[in-house]
Chain A
């Protein structure tokens, strides 16, 4: 069975500070891993994905995530937060041949001026 755990339902950073959103997964087969972002009153959009190629994945808006199999983690980072990064972020897992994607509970990112 697959599952996703996002550590911290709320994260607050200052503008210009490092953003780190944590995600741990469990999967009995090699996973596909995703980060989605949801801005207020909008649907989710893909930020980046890991599909078994490079373990360090770069996404849109300066975000990146590193797949660490030994730690079963896929943490999302951005070196310098911008006010426009304030949103809810969801980590998700799927796998080859599967129809479903499992989503974490989400982490709301607040950016302080």
Chain B
């Protein structure tokens, strides 16, 4: 099993450009998450999904949109990139049963630079 994969691994954008980050998981997990990691701030939740066709806002949702059209995929979109969105983006997933304990499985990350 590949676990959680993210595409692309690196990207450089100019201010105002748009892009989509793709996350895929092959563990049949119900819940999926997008985080951003910035120095000294840990991981901050951008958006999350508790099932196919559902999404919800996290702690820092402004400037981002998401879609979960298929259970295994969770897309993060930046419509008009800003330098403040320079960060490392992580996707994570977890199963929904009580015995899952919200243990998160992470992808390798996407390093995004906005000039």
| A interface with B by C-beta (< 8 Å) | 9, 32, 34, 36, 41-46, 49, 51, 90, 92, 94-96, 98-101, 103-106
Contact = CB atoms under 8 A, between A and B. Distances in A.
A6 to B, nearest CB: 8
Contact of B102 (A36, A42, A44, A99): A99
A101 B40 contact: no
B60 to A, nearest CB: 13
Contacts of B102: 32, 94-95, 98-101
B42 A46 contact: no
A19 B7 CA distance: 35
Interface residues of B, number: 23
A32 B101 contact: yes
Given A43-B107, A46-B103, A105-B40, A99 B31 contact: yes
Contacts of A51: 101
Given A99-B56, A100-B58, A100-B102, 16 more contacts: A32-B102, A36-B104, A41-B109, A42-B108, A43-B90, A43-B108, A44-B43, A45-B106, A90-B42, A90-B43, A99-B31, A99-B48, A100-B45, A100-B48, A103-B35, A106-B42
A49 B103 contact: yes
Nearest to A52: B101
Given A43-B90, A44-B90, A103 B48 contact: no
Contacts of B40: 9, 105-106
A96 B97 CA distance: 10
A98 B80 CA distance: 32
B56, B104, B106: most-surrounded residue (chain A CB, <10 A): B104
B52 to A, nearest CB: 15
Contacts of B106: 36, 43-45
Nearest to B38: A105
B50 interface: yes
25 contacts: A32-B102, A34-B104, A36-B104, A36-B106, A41-B109, A42-B108, A43-B4, A43-B107, A44-B92, A44-B106, A45-B106, A46-B103, A49-B101, A90-B42, A94-B102, A96-B98, A99-B31, A99-B48, A99-B50, A99-B102, A100-B48, A100-B102, A101-B102, A104-B42, A106-B40
